Amino acid sequence: MSLHGNNATPPAPAIAPGVDEIDPVRFAKELGTRFQGGIDPRVTAIVPGFDAPFFQAGLAGYSDAAMRIIARRLGAPFCVTEALLDRMLLGGGHGFDKADLQLMLDALPQGVEDQPLAGQIIGSDPDEMAAAALKMIEQASRPDRQYRDMAYGDSALPTYTDTRWKVDPAHSGEPQPADAACEDDCTPEALLALVNEQPPETYDPRTVFQNVARHESTQPSSLPGSTTGTSTQTNSAPSLSFATIDVNLACPVKKIDRKSRGGHWLSQPQGALDILRAVRAAVPKDVPCTVKLRRAYDDTPEMASNFEVIFNACYELGYAWTTVHARTVEQKYIGPSRWTFLKDLCDRNRDKIVFGSGDVWSALDIFRMMAYTGVTGVSVARGCIGNPWIFRQARLMIQGHHAPAPTLSEQRAVLLEHFAISHAINGEKAAGRMMRKFGIKFAQHHPEPEKVRSRMIAVESQRDWLSVMDDCYSAS
Ligand SMILES: Cc1cc2nc3c(=O)[nH]c(=O)nc-3n(C[C@H](O)[C@H](O)[C@H](O)COP(=O)(O)O)c2cc1C
């Protein structure tokens, strides 16, 4: 089931009078001289490794591990999963697959690359959302029944309300004690001991994830107990986790059984606040939480004021940042994103970290949006489907360099790599289906886009993919 229907609208220029007067190339270069990597250092202090002012958005039906890894190899510093439904996560069995980082790690020959990663959650009930978020962070280290008891039964959710996540502008990003502890001993045994030593409520999954990644990058062997190609999910101690939890209050999904989800909460601020409070309280205090919003449910004054209430509450409740998609929920994906809204919001909230979303179709748009609106950074969504080079181009621009389009041989290399990773993670049949969608988008960079598109539409297997590569992307 897709949570995001009616999204295949053609690129629309955002509502932003005067944006043409901005020189995005110059702005990007200045950004690079103002901040290392062009990113506000508060963001990197909150999520180590998030070192550029843009990220790959959650994109249901696209942004799986394969798409994310390709984006990262080309410069995306941070990615978000697609919105994962709380009930599916709590249901156990296959419902948790998309949040099971061990599954993905086992499938990948290269080790952990997909981090830092935000796990995005969507749902209707505060306790369900909170228990599901905790399960994601703990990577199902407790039996499934326990999480369901937290959501539906008598078991209380752990709470961390006394020490909520705070943004400390003075935070230098220096390694924290937990990081330092692992510098000495990064063997798999030491990492496992680190995890086992600590009770589930107090471990820092972020640190463990980073430590595992560090270990994996120097030693390509698998984690203790893992068997390549099979899941080692045994409800034992967690070994990987998400860097952040992102609460989706934006998706224009239909109401089911008259229950709200995603963007519908923007019309019911009390319900939205209940969810935000429950999730923030249940997620361990050292794991940052963030929120995805739209600019309002619709264009009425009542909904505009609901947005203000929810937006302010996010920060008061200890959420590190919001990402605001400047379309209304009612608008879905039709019509332009209103950058004037983002500009006004950022003008009034200069102290807050706000990421912007909507109508970012190129690397130039990343810097146009930043310069025009004052957002801290940009969420890249449809603009990166079939165009992972957008991240490389943006990084080059921050370094003051020319940002070239990908050559045909670069395209070929990335398309082969994307298929190979998708194959490893999803199996050949699913990879064929998935890559067909990407192939159609990748075709836009080819000198003969129509010809390539029609070949891509017919792809079902690795053989088909390789034959398109040979026929359309070979050097000759
Ligand atoms: C196919 C598709 C799937 C999406 N899935 C998600 C999602 O799972 N989570 C999310 O926060 N946003 C999702 N979005 C919204 C995007 O992240 C983004 O906010 C929106 O597309 C506006 O940006 P754009 O106009 O630059 O594409 C999705 C959008 C599309 C087109």
Segment 110-119 mean pLDDT: 88
Cα 377 to Cα 353: distance, rounded to the nearest angstrom: 8
Q: Note whether 161 and 204 are same-domain residues.
A: yes
Judge whether residue 230 has pLDDT over 70.
Answer: no
Segment 381-396 mean pLDDT: 98
Residue 336 beta carbon below 6 angstroms from any ligand 1 atom: no
Segment 293-321 mean pLDDT: 98
Looking at residue 190, its pLDDT comes to 32
Domain boundary among the residues 398, 417, 435 is at: 398
Q: Note whether 144 and 283 are same-domain residues.
A: yes
Cα 263 to Cα 294: distance, rounded to the nearest angstrom: 7
Residue 382 beta carbon below 6 angstroms from any ligand 1 atom: yes
Looking at residue 112, its pLDDT comes to 80
Q: Note whether 348 and 433 are same-domain residues.
A: no
Candidates 355, 382, 387: which one to mutate for ligand 1, based on the most atoms within 8 Å of Cβ? 382
Furthest-apart CA pair in the chain: how many Å?
67
* pLDDT tens-digit map of 55-85: 999 999 999 999 999 999 999 999 999 999 9
Q: Note whether 334 and 416 are same-domain residues.
A: no
Three-class DSSP category at 139: coil
Q: Note whether 418 and 280 are same-domain residues.
A: no
* 11 within some domain: no
Backbone angles phi, psi at 120, to 5 degrees: -100, 140
Looking at residue 255, its pLDDT comes to 76
* 53 within some domain: yes
The residue whose C-alpha atom lies closest to atom 22 belonging to ligand 1 is 358
Domain count, the chain: 2
The residue whose C-alpha atom lies closest to atom 21 belonging to ligand 1 is 381
Q: How many CA atoms lie within 13 A of 274 on its CB side?
A: 13
User: Shortest CA distance to 342 belongs to which of 373, 307, 369?
Assistant: 373
Domain boundary among the residues 379, 398, 417 is at: 398
Q: Note whether 218 and 125 are same-domain residues.
A: yes
Cα of 427 vs centre of ligand 1, distance in Å, is 25
Q: Which of 234-243, 272-281, 348-357, 452-461 has the weakest average pLDDT?
A: 234-243
Cα of 382 vs centre of ligand 1, distance in Å, is 7
The residue whose C-alpha atom lies closest to atom 16 belonging to ligand 1 is 381
Residue 83 beta carbon below 6 angstroms from any ligand 1 atom: yes
The residue whose C-alpha atom lies closest to atom 14 belonging to ligand 1 is 59
Cα of 62 vs centre of ligand 1, distance in Å, is 10
Centroid of chain to Cα 192: 27
Burial track 214-230 (b if 16+ CB lie within 10 A, e otherwise): bbbeeeeebbeebeeee
* 5 within some domain: no
* 12 within some domain: no
Domain boundary among the residues 398, 418, 441 is at: 398
Q: Return the CA Rg of the chain.
A: 22
* 403 within some domain: no
Query: How would DSSP label each residue in 31-88?
Result: HHHHSGGGS-HHHHHHSTT--SSEEEPP-TTT-SHHHHHHHHHTT---EEPPPEEHHH
- Spell out the alpha helix ranges (H) of 198-249: 205-218
Residue 260's CATH number:
3.20.20.70
* 1 within some domain: no
* pLDDT tens-digit map of 125-165: 999 999 999 999 999 999 999 999 999 988 888 876 433 33
Q: Note whether 94 and 154 are same-domain residues.
A: yes
Q: Note whether 422 and 327 are same-domain residues.
A: no
Range of the domain at 446: 408-472
Q: Note whether 435 and 459 are same-domain residues.
A: yes
Q: Are the C-beta atoms of 43 and 353 separated by less than 8 Å?
A: yes
Given the CA of residue 380, which atom of ligand 1 is nearest to it? 26
Residue 411 makes CB contacts below 8 A (sequence gap 6+) with: 442, 445, 446, 473
Q: Are the C-beta atoms of 304 and 261 separated by less than 8 Å?
A: no
Q: Work out the burial of residue 205: count CB atoms within 10 Å of its CB; fewer than 13 is exposed, 13-18 middle, 19 or more buried.
A: buried
Which is higher by pLDDT, 38 or 203? 38
Segment 6-35 mean pLDDT: 89
Q: Note whether 257 and 322 are same-domain residues.
A: yes
* 6 within some domain: no
Q: Note whether 225 and 250 are same-domain residues.
A: yes
Burial track 352-375 (b if 16+ CB lie within 10 A, e otherwise): bbbbbbbbbbbbbbbbbbbbbbbb
Cα of 59 vs centre of ligand 1, distance in Å, is 5
273: left (phi over 0), alpha (psi -120 to 50) or beta: alpha
Q: Note whether 354 and 467 are same-domain residues.
A: no
* 180 within some domain: yes
Q: Using 50, 70 and 90 to split pLDDT, how confident is the model at 431?
A: very high
Cα 53 to Cα 366: distance, rounded to the nearest angstrom: 9
Cα 168 to Cα 173: distance, rounded to the nearest angstrom: 10
The residue whose C-alpha atom lies closest to atom 11 belonging to ligand 1 is 58
Q: What is the mean pLDDT of the chain?
A: 84
Q: What whole-number percentage of the chain has pLDDT above 90?
A: 73
In the chain, how many H helices and how many E strands? 19, 9
Residue 295 beta carbon below 6 angstroms from any ligand 1 atom: no
Residue 58 beta carbon below 6 angstroms from any ligand 1 atom: yes
Looking at residue 9, its pLDDT comes to 61
Which is higher by pLDDT, 4 or 377? 377
Q: At what angle do helices 205-218 and 188-197 cross, to 10 degrees?
A: 170
